[in-house]
Amino acid sequence: VFMYLFSSSLFAKENLNRMSERQLNLYDRLINEPSNDWDIYYWATEAKPTPAVFENDVMAMLKEFVKNKNREQRLRQPDLEYLFESPR
């Protein structure tokens, strides 16, 4: 779960500022509705199928991010200043 949460914070830093309001609502629902973070981890890593209610473009973005195709070093969580930056 730690690696999912770690990836999730990096995902948020890279994507929240460019998400539409609809996507932000989907993301909020994804990170708050499932009662078990392991479920989100398994869906994001495609170890288990994503339930239809969470299968959307935000989940697709998260799955792509988790694959880390560019082999970026993701050794620490981002600083939280990005939460207070104005949108680009």
Where do the structural domains in the chain lie, given as residue ranges? 1-83
pTM of the model: 0.69
Longest dimension (CA), the chain: 36
CATH for the 1-83 domain, from 1.10.1670, 3.40.190, 1.10.3470, 1.10.150: 1.10.150
Buried b (16+ CB within 10 A) or exposed e, 70-80: eeeeeeeeeee
Core vs surface per residue 31-41: b (16+ CB within 10 A) or e: eeeeeeeebbb
Identify the band that residue 63 occupies on the pLDDT scale cut at 50, 70 and 90: very high
**9-61 tens-digit pLDDT:** 788 888 888 999 999 999 999 988 988 888 998 999 999 999 999 999 999 99
Q: Which two tokens stand for residue 57?
A: 């473009």
